[in-house]
Chain A
Amino acid sequence: MSSTNGRSTNVVNTDSQIARSGGDVVCDAILEAGVDVVFGMPGGASLPFYDALYRYQDRIRHVLIRHEQAAGFAANGYARATGKVGVATSTSGPGATNLVTCMANDMMDSVGVVYITGQVARPAIGSDAFQETDITGISIPVTKHSYLVLDVDDLPRVMKEAFYIASSGRPGPVHVDIPKDVFVETTTCTAPQSLDLRGYITPTAGDAALVARAAEVINAADRPIIMAGHGIDISGAAEQLFALATRGNIPVVSTLHGVGTFPETHPLSFGMLGMHGLAYANFAMGKTDCIIGLGTRFDDRAVGKVEEFGPDAKVVHIDVDPAEIGKVLATDVPIVGDLKMTLERLLPLINHHDRKAWFSQLDSWRGRHRSLDIPESPESVLPQEVVRAIYEVSGGDARVIADVGQNQMWAAQHFWYEKPRMFFSAGGLGPMGYALPAAMGVKLADDRRDVWCVTGDGGLLINIQEFNTLAAEGINLKVAILNNAHLGMIRQWQEFFYEGRYMGAYLDNPDFAAVAKSFGLHGVGATTREEMNSAIEMAHAHDGPVVLDLHVDQVENVYPMIVPGTGVASVIEDPR
């Protein structure tokens, strides 16, 4: 809520004296940031901004979503697919409060999105005016930064700062709240060439002495392991990660957001770790003598019981955010810096080692604990099979956007991601309803790859209104509903931990294929294996949005599972 008065850094453009409206200033800043799509829904307070979007419609595509939450998730998908900043907009009051979940989601997952919200006109602020809410007061804890712009002369600088802050360092959401009359007023000010953000440090390569120390620790380790996190994607360091693993002959596990940063079919890949990670990935974390944490915040769903997570390991942690270092794990070599630049500095110092004993141990776990085998299921189609079928039909070259819950885990487990920025899900906040709008954003950001939205039936229902956007905008998205007629992860937890007392887990679903058809989409239902396979093949071949209502086994559980609060030794593996 940085009210923006009292700063002297605004630049008055005296040469040209070109007066721009506040709305035009915002549009120019969007273009300046290389962004060409804005997701949003208009309202009274943002109408002048929409008047500017009308003038800019040849350069900025406005996608009218059907609920503001979808705008934020779509902007998140846009940002994650491109590495650019996403932009979402709403009006004041209810429009703005509907974006709060999205801000919290971006914050948890370090995704750069700029939120433009309309506010009531300045004279009405504080009067409980129609659709007034103190949205900057609400957004403080869930944004990287926020502004309430009370003077149009501040707006060019604020917009430039907003895009810079959203995309630099550890990315995150930036909220700009703009009163209706500020959109209308004109200014001759332009943004300053260089921003005056004292105290905001742009990351550089990690400290050379610490990098040298890291190399010593890694080279001396007998059982090192790399834990690749979302930071690899954000920093664009997949190549450097590959070089580190292959040069040092070091196995790699990934976090949920790190999936695909290292090719998952490579012999050095040991898959995803964590609560529903592969058993051997978690065993490795228990026995390693050196954890190399790259761009990860050692989230509780990845780490589990801290005392059993690398109890004998030295920890080398490289992250752009100093507050993440030492937050969860005691760290032997703490390195703050940009991951790509830091790995460039580390690579020449890394020696190759055979680590024969370590690999024979890892491979023996991998052989004995076959976490990714899909059991026989003559009576029903298993949801894992759906993900496999999508993997097969797309040749592994599709982007997959998963929702939250069981579907998210199966989508992470049963598809082999070979490249960065191929798998997206909302891992930190875990908002159901993410996948459909996020997948729209991914597809609109980059049309070159097929995009599959893998969602549960519960999550789909949370933002199902976006079928309308999908149809209206003709977004060529494939939606695979793993329809098990339950909030599946809830059902699983009630089975495991509440002795089967199912409460609020069953879903009395509509016919999703018919719903899709009523929205003008190509909707197909499937119950048998043959129907499922041919539906997926059809969707792959079809040029346009398709919704597949895939009736899968209703009581299938996600395995393996580490019971929260326990260590890897108590992992529950598939009993079949």
Chain B
Amino acid sequence: MSEPQVHTLVATVQDHPGVLTRVASLFRRRGFNIASLAVGHSEEPGYSRMTIAVEGSADEVSQCEKQLYKLIEVDSVRNLTGTAAIICELALIKIRVSARSDELDKVTRNHGGEIVDRSESSMIVQMPGDQKRVDQFLDVISGHPDAWLIEEISRTGAIAMARGSTHGRNG
């Protein structure tokens, strides 16, 4: 039995109301632990793509993939863990700031983010990247001597895509 870790599954599913319920119900009833789940349109009309980050051993996640496959509206499932893949997410972070914000601008830019809203007392940072990068940015903000206060965090959860052309590849 391998060590538990977060696996990234990408599923192509029919774009029906209720598909999300089915997937969520499956995870709950079989005790699979979802770290995050992101869903949106795919390149094909009528189909959505779901990225599911699931915690578990390799055996557990393999069972999870097979169970997902049994859902009639699931067209394909791939486990991108350990493969060449782009895995990223997007976070919006609202930070309470005092007057001086140049420093926050700099820190945000250094981490590859962007300030997308400014008010008198707060700013919203939009931070894309893999989970590690977002986590690091949050650590820097929390630990900064200027005592910035994080008021709100909203994260999309990971989305993922295998590197290289899809053409000629099954699944």
Contacts and interface: CB of A to CB of B under 8 A. Distances in A.
A198 interface: yes
Interface of A: 1-4, 6-8, 136-137, 140-141, 144-145, 148, 165, 197-200, 321-323, 326-327
A144 B67 contact: no
Interface of B: 12, 14-19, 21-22, 25-26, 29, 46, 59, 62-63, 66-67, 69-70, 72-76
A149 B73 CA distance: 16
B67 A323 contact: yes
A327 B17 contact: no
Contact of A199 (B25, B46, B59, B73): B73
Contacts of A198: 75
Contacts of A197: 72
Given A6-B46, A323-B70, A1 B63 contact: no
Contacts of A2: 14, 16, 18-19, 72-73
B62 A326 contact: yes
Contacts of B18: 1-3, 136, 140, 148
Contacts of B62: 326
A443 to B, nearest CB: 32
A3 B17 contact: yes
Contacts of A8: 46
The 9 A-B pairs with the shortest beta carbon distances in the complex, nearest first, are A1-B18, A199-B75, A323-B66, A3-B17, A145-B72, A2-B16, A198-B75, A140-B25, A141-B29
A294 B73 CA distance: 28
A199 B16 contact: no
Given A7-B46, A144-B70, A200-B72, 15 more contacts: A1-B17, A1-B18, A1-B22, A2-B14, A3-B16, A3-B18, A6-B15, A6-B16, A8-B46, A140-B18, A145-B72, A199-B69, A199-B72, A199-B73, A323-B70
A145 B12 CA distance: 17
Contacts of A200: 72
A163 to B, nearest CB: 13
A322 B21 contact: no
B21 A137 contact: yes
A140 B24 CA distance: 11
A141 B18 CA distance: 12
Contacts of B14: 2
Contact of A165 (B16, B17, B22, B72): B72
Given A2-B16, A7-B46, A322-B69, A140 B76 contact: no
Nearest to B73: A2
A545 to B, nearest CB: 40
A200 B76 CA distance: 10
Contacts of B70: 144, 321, 323
Most buried by B among A1, A137, A144: A1
Nearest to B24: A140
Nearest to B11: A199
Contacts of A6: 15-16, 46
A4 B18 CA distance: 10
A200 B70 CA distance: 8
Contacts of A7: 46
A521 to B, nearest CB: 41
Nearest to A323: B66
A315 to B, nearest CB: 15
Nearest to B77: A199
A145 B76 CA distance: 17
A148 B17 CA distance: 10
Nearest to A200: B72
Contacts of A1: 17-18, 21-22
B72 A140 contact: no
A2 B21 CA distance: 10
A345 B72 CA distance: 28
Given A6-B46, A199-B69, A199-B73, A326 B59 contact: yes
Contacts of A141: 25-26, 29
Contacts of A199: 12, 69, 72-76
A323 B63 contact: yes
Nearest to B75: A199
A148 B16 CA distance: 11
10 contacts: A2-B19, A3-B18, A4-B16, A140-B18, A140-B22, A141-B29, A145-B72, A165-B72, A199-B76, A322-B69
A6 B16 CA distance: 8
A136 B67 CA distance: 20
A7 B29 CA distance: 29
B66 to A, nearest CB: 4
A144 to B, nearest CB: 7
Contacts of B15: 6
B49 to A, nearest CB: 13
A84 B40 CA distance: 39
Contacts of B72: 2, 144-145, 165, 197, 199-200
Contacts of B73: 2, 199
A327 B72 CA distance: 20
Contacts of A140: 18, 21-22, 25
A341 to B, nearest CB: 20
Contacts of B46: 6-8
A145 B74 CA distance: 12
Nearest to A322: B66
Most buried by A among B26, B29, B73: B73
Nearest to A137: B21
